[in-house]
Amino acid sequence: MKTIKVNIDAFSSGQVGSKIWLCEELERTGWSSKLTYIYGGWHGITAFLLLSRGTFNVGQIQSFDIDPSCEVIADTLNENWVWQEWQFKAYTLDCNGYVRGGADLIINTSTEHFHSIDWFDNIPKGTRVVFQGNNMPHDDHVVHSASLESFIEQYPLTEYSYIGEKEFKYPTWSFKRFMVIGTK
């Protein structure tokens, strides 16, 4: 059996809780998707939750992350959907560069990790999107949104289906997660 090193933070309450929140709000839109891209897909938890909940109708999910170790982890977590006509597949890719066209939904739950806004600029106008960010200071967070308003200003959309924030309070610290769902 192959050993895979997993970043346990991917399964923290803040990470999983924010992705469940995304699923709940996306399900309320009544949308469906033939092809969804997940930018900064990390260990594939967003895809796993969307596919396993079975409430959001999605034909195929492709997950992109710049870290090559994420591809095998995401494919392993989502193996149930990898072999089923490639309903899920992870790829090693810098989303700031060109990403194949064709997605009718783009999800980015890790906007704070992207060193450039090229990923956002390259999304075609009229594409449905879901973005999350936060106000948590962290060594590897290069984009900091102090508030929901500043987050919205960084990633302006032409139409909003959902705008919200969720606070995660722990005994010694807290942070807010921001989310927008809409059309670029």
Domain with 122 in it: 8-134+150-183
Q: Is residue 32 part of a domain?
A: yes
pTM: 0.92
Q: What are the φ and ψ backbone dihedral angles of 58, each rounded to 5 degrees?
A: -130, 130
- Whether the pLDDT of residue 1 is over 70: the answer is no
Q: For residues 44-51, give the mean pLDDT.
A: 97
Select from 111, 144, 154, 153 the least CA-distant residue to 130. Answer: 111
Number of structural domains in the chain: 1
Per-residue b/e over 6-37, b at no fewer than 16 CB within 10 Å?
A: eeeebeeebbeebbebbbebbeeeebebebbb
Q: How many other CB atoms are found less than 10 A from the CB of residue 169?
A: 8
**CATH code, 79:** 3.40.50.150
Is the per-residue pLDDT at 54 higher than 70? yes
115 part of a folded domain: yes
In a domain, 143, yes or no: no
In a domain, 170, yes or no: yes
Q: Is residue 95 part of a domain?
A: yes
* 1 found inside a domain: no
Beta bridge pairs of residue 180: 131, 163
| Residue 21 included in any domain | yes
> Which of 30-34, 140-144, 145-149 comes out lowest in average pLDDT?
140-144
Average pLDDT over residues 36-54: 95
Determine, yes or no, domain membership for 145: no
Nearest to 105 by CA among 169, 53, 168, 46: 46
Q: Tokens at residue 12, please? A: 């923290």
Q: What is the pLDDT of residues 5-28, one digit of tens each?
A: 777 777 777 788 999 999 999 999
